[in-house]
Structure 1
Amino acid sequence: MTSAAVNSRSAHRSWANAGAAGALVVALTAGAVAGTAVDATAQPRTNKAPNTQAPNAQALSAMTAALPNAQLTSAVVLVDGRDGRWSGTSGTGKLTTGELDGGRRPVAADGRFRIGSISKVFTATVLLQLSAEHRVDLDGTVQQYLPDALPAAYPPITVRQLLNHTSGLPTGGGLGGDDGGDQWFADHMDESWTPQQVVAEAVGRPMQFEPGTAQQYNGLNYFLAGLLVERVTHRSYAQEVNARILRPLGLHSTAVPAAGDTRLAHPTAHAYLAVPRPDGTGTEQVDVTEQSPWPWAEGGMVSSAPDLDRFLSALLRGRLLPPAQQAELFAVPDVPNFRNRNCDIGPTAGRACFSTALMRFTSPSGVVLWGKTGSRPGWTNGIFATPDASRDLVYSLTPTSRNGVPFAVQYGIASAAFDLDPH
């Protein structure tokens, strides 16, 4: 804990962590996972026929059923597109006293979860809309829009460099317990900081590299992006997201929680972390479902699988952005990857993989997907789609460690959804 920490039980504030990264940063690991029965009957709200079956339904069902184990309590998987739709759940929605006797609560396919860094896609979309309205210049500088946010010694950093993670700003930081483990988070999960506190603490360190010369995934970029939205519009970040995205698309399960609001109504499943028992005899599961929505514009939103499916499809199909800004979704800078495990996967490893809003993933077989991962303690999530949104994937998993879900498991879900490794 630093001296900047405060207790959000007595005040309305927001957590912040300048170094939060997506779940795909986890190194590739091997190993099978034990399974439980899949429930693919609960159908989320959708504009498409609810009983259609997407291709690969058998592989998706088997993959989803095999997910829960001692390190993963639940899974929600949704695949949607022009070829049909498939939705499945597995695991348990809430651990109960009768769990060892087979008692369990079902997982809600249309429930809500904390989406983590998928929030960045909403933030970038708002800024791209402001660019289309000529209220924000992507080539304008952070210093121009937020003159007091960065030290005078820092070089000019453009808005585009914030959004595509080529700013070179420092990463990490002491606020939010970035280096804390599962026990630390269980003890401090309702504490919070303001975005201004996070930025002020982070920019006390030197730049990582000259802006525009490399790419390093960095949550600090999106704290600044959120502050920029508020400075330009003179309205709150939540108001802008609601007016520009949530209401027009009818995303009724998606929200920017108010600072200090730890509630999560109608969750897909409760989230747990395994922490050591006080007597030293193994671990116990601590419910972390109700936690501070600390990452704000960087990673604090909540949503559901059907809502994220609708959002990603609308975004990729051009419903939210005009052509010039739509092109920014797929404009990955041609620069090296700088100490960034997110981009060290697939045939393009070592080069940048983030555009102004999305992450590009290329499978070993050459299939290109666009989307974003997002994690919070207790959740590992992802949204991915083909470039034309002909097929979308949304998944939300509840791991019992802040380390999240290994990439191998997430790749298995994507492989079943998109035929990444055809035989």
Structure 2
Amino acid sequence: MRVRTSSVLAASLVLALSAGPLAAPSFAAPPTGAAAARRSPDPDANALRAALAMVPGDHATAALVRVGGTNGSRRGSAGVRDLASGRPAYPNASFRAGSITKVVTAATVLRLAAEGDVDLDAAVQDYLPGLFTEDFDQPISVRQLLNHTSGIPAGDGLGDDFAALYPRRFDTLSPREDVASAIAKGPESGPGERQHYLNVNYTILGFLIEKVTGRSYAAEATRLVLRPAGMTHTYFPGTDPRIRGPHNRGYQTVERPDGTTELLDVTEWNQADRWAAGDMISTTADLERLLTSLFRGRIVPQPQLEEMFTTPAGLPDATRSAGLEYEKVGDQVFWGKSGSRYGYSALMGGTRDLSRTLVYSVNATDAKSAARNPVLDAITAAALK
């Protein structure tokens, strides 16, 4: 079945873009003169409406967007909460945030470093004896886990593609089992030699958090990051395949044997193996709170916060830091993190001075595809133009 914007679905399109004041960052006075001239213009409401008007459609069934500028913010929602009813999407829905979880994990580790419980230059083998085989004979620092230069390969997981994973979506693969399959392969490179973005680095950081604190990853991430940021609707589901509270259902486009396509409901899915690397469920409001609190230095203190805006030395092509990644758009640099699970694509990011921020959750029908999604492209272009 293909999604079409029928008269029923078109009537369900919800646009609630509204302007409002945006407080200036607390860590710096608003720029003036030439610096002010370089700041982003305010979000373009018409461009955002046009982007959201693409939903629902073939590429997404729902979308939630929050854009912040120097003088105001705009919020919008579009699409349906489920295809069966065609009712309007929940504007404050919970969703799978995917790898944005890594931002919370990195911030938790950096908070522990600030409190003297973790040494970023220390070898993770010393913190977690017995985890690695003798093949890992070079020390891997905590910092190298944070910036994906550890040289540890990916775990096997439950399958390599949607066709293999979908029948096993309610199975439980523990983080320990996933990491064990990665360690068994031996190093793929020496520590610090290359940057390779992999979940295994952050799963091991979850182990580290639990080892040094004696408490669960979820408890420490909540204590050190979620609660200080005011993220009251964010949680870690563990083996529970459901999304608690109001949520918009996720769908994945699959091809039938005859060449036609259909949408499979992928809302319920056990994500236990993603854990500290990608298991979090959140809302756009909570992710906006995380972004602003983090960039204003309210979660991670200096100098540890600099780790989140510093790519590894000696690797000029590296774009990832501790929990974040950057992209240059014109003369601006945007720092943030994207995340995806089947049925859900999310992003949070902004300029470091918060003169422009973007948070979205899009129920993309190809959320794990390497191909570009025109809805995501249109929202990003409208928000950052």
TM-score bin, normalised by smaller chain = 0.7 to 0.9
The residue that corresponds to 2:26 in the other structure is: none
Q: Post-superposition shift, 1:186?
A: 2.8
Counterpart contact for 1:186–1:273, Cα < 8 Å: no
User: Within 2, Cα distance between the matches of 1:160 and 1:41?
Assistant: 42
Counterpart in the other structure of 2:342 = 377
For structure 2, the residue ranges without an aligned partner over 5 or more in a row are: 24-40
- The answer to whether the Cα contact below 8 Å between 1:214 and 1:335 also exists between their aligned partners in 2 is no
Contact persistence 1:65–1:89 (CA under 8 A): no
Aligned with residue 93 of structure 2, among 101, 107, 111: 111
Give deviations 1:99-133, integer Å, cap 9, x for gaps.
xxxx5111112110000000000000000000001
- Aligned residue for 1:369, secondary structure, equals strand
Structure 2 distance, partners of 1:408, 1:209, is 36
Gaps of 5+ in 1: 1-32, 97-102, 337-349
Q: What does 1:55-94 align with in structure 2 at a 5 Å threshold?
A: 55-94=43-82
* Number of residue equivalences: 358
Which residue matches 2:262?
284
Q: Which residue of 2 aligns with 1:406?
A: 372
The 2-side partners of 1:267 and 1:290 are apart by 14
Task: Spell out the pairing of 1:311-326 with structure 2 (5 A cutoff).
Answer: 311-326=290-305
Alpha carbons 1:124, 1:356 under 8 Å: kept = yes
Normalization by structure 2: what TM-score?
Answer: 0.86
1:270 maps to which residue? 249
Q: Alpha carbons of 1:331 and 1:205: their partners in 2 closer, same or farther (altered >3 Å)?
A: same
Distance in 2 between residues matched to 1:408 and 1:72, nearest whole Å: 9
How large is the RMSD of aligned CA atoms in angstroms? 2.6
- Opposite residue 306 of structure 1, the aligned amino acid is A
* Contact 2:149–2:191 under 8 Å retained in 1: yes
Which residue number in structure 2 is paired with residue 366 of structure 1? 331
- Rounded to whole Å, the distance in 1 between the matches of 2:54 and 2:139 is 49
Q: Superposed, which structure 2 residues align to 1:14-413 within 5 Å?
A: 38-41=13-16, 55-96=43-84, 104-154=86-136, 155-171=138-154, 173-177=155-159, 179-181=160-162, 183-257=163-237, 259-276=238-255, 280=258, 282-294=260-272, 295-336=274-315, 351-363=317-329, 365-401=330-366, 402-403=368-369, 406=372, 409-413=375-379
Q: What TM-score results when the alignment is normalised by the length of structure 1?
A: 0.79
Is 2:43–2:68's contact at 8 Å kept on the other side of the alignment?
no
CA distance in 2, matches of 1:397, 1:418: 17
* Cα distance in structure 2, aligned partners of 1:396 and 1:214: 31
Contact 1:379 1:404 in 2 (8 A): no
Determine if contact 1:57/1:86 at 8 Å carries over to the other structure: yes
1:356-401 residue CA offsets vs partner (Å, 9 max, x unmatched): 12111112x2321000010101111111111112221111111223
Indicate if the aligned counterparts of 2:266 and 2:342 stay in contact, CA closer than 8 A.
Answer: yes
Structure 1 SS opposite 2:263? strand
CA distance in 2, matches of 1:108, 1:203: 42
Moved more, 325-334 or 300-309: 325-334
Q: CA separation in 1, counterparts of 2:161 and 2:291?
A: 32
| Per-residue deviation, 1:160 | 0.2
Output the amino acid matched with 1:141.
A
Does the 8 Å CA contact 2:59/2:374 hold for their aligned counterparts? no
Contact kept in structure 1, 2:14 and 2:79, CA below 8 Å: no
Q: Is the 8 A contact 1:273 1:400 kept in 2?
A: yes
